[in-house]
Chains A and B, each alone.
Chain A
Amino acid sequence: MMPDWMMLMKQLYGAVSLTLRSPLKAGVSKGEARLGPHGSRRAYGAPHHEGRHRHGLHAERFGYRSAFSPRPEEPAAGGRLDGRPQVRRYVSIAASLLTAVLSLAHASPASAYLAFVSNEKGNTVSVIDTDTWTVTKTIKVGQRPRGIAFTRDGKFVMVAVGDDDTIQVIDAKKQEVVDTLPSGPDPELFAQDAAGKTLYVANENDNTVTVLDLEKRVRIGDVQVGVEPEGMMLSPDGKILICTSETTNMAHFIDTATRQIVANVLVDARPRYAEFKSDGSELWVSAEIGGTVSIIDPGKREVTGKIKFAVPGLRSEAIQPVGIGLTKDGKTGFVALGPANRVAVVDGTSHEVKKYLLVGQRVWHMEFTPDEKYLLVTNGVSNDVSVIDVAAQKVIKTIQVGELPWGITIAQP
């Protein structure tokens, strides 16, 4: 059970954040509104931070082997990933078990995920504990971090640092940069296959998609695409890679076996992001400048419909769709509308916009928690992350992160 004082803090915090929500939206300075989560960070941050060892240990027991272990010849189960001597390791296990028990004792077990947020201007990655909704660590990375994703084994986080022409690898447990990948110039977004062995990187500067072998860490191929490739997404069966090119205005269909373009679908201006329904029946592509989301039939490879947005009081130019999130059942879609400061909730079947959720300024990318209870969106200009309750379709929290948050990835490391 949660100690009484903690319970009290949690209730207090809940109350504080509730009362602060309405003035925040009414335009009161955000600095004041943020006092809530900051004040409570110390009380909750520490035990949960320790609690992460539990998950790390778990992963090692099952013998997950990562493509990024510093010495790939050694079995990961040997526990040398962090380079600590054995004795210290046992102490650490004992400590981890203890904290695991402690954290189990007071945590709400529903969500204990970590969200990694890339801060484009801050050159940092903020780590958010989704249990307490607080930033538990800020990791310094290379220049202009944007695309960010957990490796399939959940042990590492890859972040594209475009101005350093590389992808850095963060150890999710140590929460520090441990490696880099030969990505090609100016990487922005990337996609990895289901096995976590192949990484496809969009290189905006030279109109190519670079194919990397994650285990050997070498470039194994290039695909020439349109001008300024950006959005990257693999079909659920892994056979087709979608790459959107921002100035060519196309979604390129690339056969992952032959690495040849097999179709090009013209969409609206400046396509930024592509997302498949989990059953592969639909592909959604956002067009930032065009202001639409194109629905593409992946079989026919043609646009079958378009989602248009209209927010009362906003000029249509201010509506710039970027990030897309689709629930696993395909019934609900979420679309980030950039400087419109809203996330559109779209019916996955009829493609009608159901409502607009007011979030922070210049909302960009998004990610669901693995249990799909929450959706986290990055707000670039207000330097925060909004938390959306997926079932209730409501914004429940705002978390301040680093400067110009851009991408986000969430897993249970």
Chain B
Amino acid sequence: MGGHVVLGVLARCLIGAISLIAAATAAGAAEPVDIAIGYLGRAGVPQTLSPLDQPAPDDGVAGARLAIEDNNTTGKFLNQRFTLIDRRVKDDEDAAEAANELAGKTGFILADLPADALLKVADSLRGRGITLLNVAATDDRLREQDCRANVIHVAPTRSMLADGLAQYLVWKQWKRWLLVTGSHDNDKLFADALRRAATRFGAKIVEERTFADTGGARRTDSGVTLIQRQMPVFTQKAPAYDVLVAADESEVFANYLPYRTWDARPVAGSAGLRPTSWDPSQDQWGATQLQNRFMKLASRRMDALDMQAWMAIRMVGEAASRTNSGDAKAMTDYLKGPNFTIAAFKGTRLSLRDWNLQLRQPILLADGRMIVSVSPQEGFLHQVSELDTLGVDRPETKCKLQ
């Protein structure tokens, strides 16, 4: 009796072992390499002046999803499978904690976070072999004095955006600017970048004004009447200028300016002609196909944050196909190495600035309806890459990667 039991157990073990081996072998032949990518973003969306600018709830992450699909189309030929882990943090939640949860599951995390939160996350993940891809924060300090070796920046900087705009305004011979800045810190940072751009490319800021945020709702039922009285008066008695340049990242006043300035002048910066990494109207260089795919997936057109997330995930996909591997270390080395370039429907190849891991990219100038121009403008030359005429260049950098 006892012997039978032992024999039976033995037999069962043997069968179990054999089937386990069989399963493992089958898995080895067919199972694709899994590459998970995290998306760490804020819950909730900011308020904008125009309802048309109001970001969709899936702003950014929809671009990430499309890139995962595109990577998987390629991945099926290389036996690689990409997945996205979407994690949203509320205002009172600690982004670093959420990042540490993600870190157990993936080697790459897209960060759709403000500068301070991003730095906190970057420092908490230090030494764990995780690479953050900054898809949202445009702060120059993240690429300069606060740069980190574990953060690759896909979003352009404020200085790249300001330089892209300035090159066009100078080419247009609109060299006298009336600079109007909002009262929030991020508005002031954009104004700093615009001042730097004016000096760099030979424009002159004839006067500066500040538009103070006194609070209140972005939109009201009878808002137009009041705005029509306010804006002409606010822009009155300015010295002779060619273009009003507004720095209003906080969405307080810039979009009130077009057609309401005291003098008949175009508006640029945070309203009117806006510098951006991408725009829903962009359809050049084969972007029609990308926009079509995005429309099919998200039922809307692609904006800058969607595109920055798309590029970030495509970069990971490109690293996976070029290294034919799902190993985070090998992939990161490829991304940071000299051979990395990527195509992103901007008419030229994009690469990383090795001194601060910022993605080089053209800046589109959009008026909300069309792409008006793309910078760098013809004639702005550079010894390495014309794209380095945009933003802080190697000789000026304060970044020491570590």
Contact = CB atoms under 8 A, between A and B. Distances in A.
A249 B292 CA distance: 19
Contact of A246 (B78, B286, B288, B349): B286
Interface stretch (A261-269, A293-301, A373-381): A261-269
Given A204-B289, A226-B74, A247 B385 contact: no
Contacts of B387: 317
A247 B318 CA distance: 10
Given A289-B341, A290-B341, A315-B385, A207 B322 contact: no
B343 interface: yes
A291 B74 contact: no
A228 interface: yes
Contacts of A290: 341, 343, 349
Interface in A310-330: 315, 317-318, 320
A246 B70 contact: no
Residue of B74, B289, B318, B382 with most partner-chain A CB within 10 A: B289
A289 B346 CA distance: 10
Interface in B370-396: 382, 385-387
B73 interface: yes
B341 A207 contact: no
A317 B288 CA distance: 22
B282 to A, nearest CB: 16
Contacts of A252: 77
Interface string A196-210: 000000001101000
Nearest to A270: B343
A249 B322 CA distance: 10
A384 interface: no
A186 interface: yes
Given A228-B289, A290-B349, A291-B349, A250 B74 contact: yes
B386 A269 contact: no
B77 A269 contact: no
B74 A227 contact: yes
B252 to A, nearest CB: 38
Interface in A248-281: 248-250, 252, 261, 264, 266, 269-270
B385 A248 contact: no
A266 B286 contact: no
Nearest to B73: A227
A248 B343 contact: no
Contacts of B289: 186, 204-205, 228
Interface in B279-331: 286, 288-289, 292-293, 314, 318, 321-322
Contacts of A226: 73-74, 77
B73 A207 contact: yes
Interface string B61-95: 00000000010011001100000000000000000
A317 B386 contact: yes
B119 interface: no
Nearest to A263: B77
A211 B175 CA distance: 56
Report whether over half of chain A's contact residues are helix, strand or loop; otherwise say mixed.
loop
A311 to B, nearest CB: 14
B342 interface: yes
Given A205-B289, A317-B386, A266 B70 contact: no
Given A266-B322, A289-B349, A291-B349, A317 B385 contact: yes
Given A250-B74, A289-B343, A269 B286 contact: no
Contact of B73 (A204, A205, A248, A289): A248
B348 interface: yes
B349 A261 contact: no
Contact of B343 (A261, A269, A318): A269
Contacts of B321: 249, 266
Contacts of A318: 348
Given A205-B289, A270-B343, A248 B386 contact: no
Contacts of B74: 226-227, 245, 247-250
Interface string B347-373: 011000000000000000000000000
A247 B70 contact: yes
B270 to A, nearest CB: 29
A205 B78 CA distance: 22
A98 B293 CA distance: 56
Contacts of B78: 264
Nearest to A252: B77
Given A269-B341, A317-B349, A317-B386, A248 B286 contact: no
A228 B74 CA distance: 11
Contact of A317 (B73, B77, B293, B348): B348
A290 B286 CA distance: 15
B77 A248 contact: yes
A291 B321 CA distance: 18
Contacts of A247: 70, 74, 314, 343
Contacts of B292: 186, 205
Contacts of A264: 77-78
Nearest to A287: B343
Given A228-B289, A315-B385, A317-B349, A261 B77 contact: yes
A186 B78 CA distance: 26
B77 A315 contact: no
A252 B386 CA distance: 34
B301 to A, nearest CB: 15
A204 B322 CA distance: 23
A229 B110 CA distance: 28
Contacts of B286: 204, 228, 246, 270
B288 to A, nearest CB: 8
**Could you say which of A247, A264, A315, A317 has the most chain B C-beta atoms within 10 Å of its C-beta?**
A247
Interface in B45-74: 70, 73-74
A248 B342 CA distance: 11
B385 A269 contact: no
B307 to A, nearest CB: 14
A168 B298 CA distance: 32
Contacts of A186: 288-289, 292
A226 B78 CA distance: 11
Nearest to A288: B343
A269 B73 contact: no
Contacts of B70: 227, 247-248
Nearest to B388: A315
Contacts of A288: 343
Given A246-B343, A270-B343, 10 more contacts: A205-B293, A227-B70, A228-B286, A266-B322, A269-B342, A269-B343, A289-B341, A289-B342, A315-B385, A317-B387
Interface of A: 186, 204-205, 207, 226-228, 245-250, 252, 261, 264, 266, 269-270, 288-291, 315, 317-318, 320
* 9 closest Cβ pairs, A-B complex: A289-B343, A248-B74, A264-B77, A269-B343, A289-B349, A270-B343, A317-B348, A204-B289, A227-B73
18 contacts: A246-B343, A247-B70, A247-B343, A248-B77, A249-B318, A249-B343, A266-B321, A269-B341, A269-B342, A270-B343, A289-B343, A290-B341, A290-B349, A315-B382, A317-B348, A317-B349, A317-B387, A320-B348
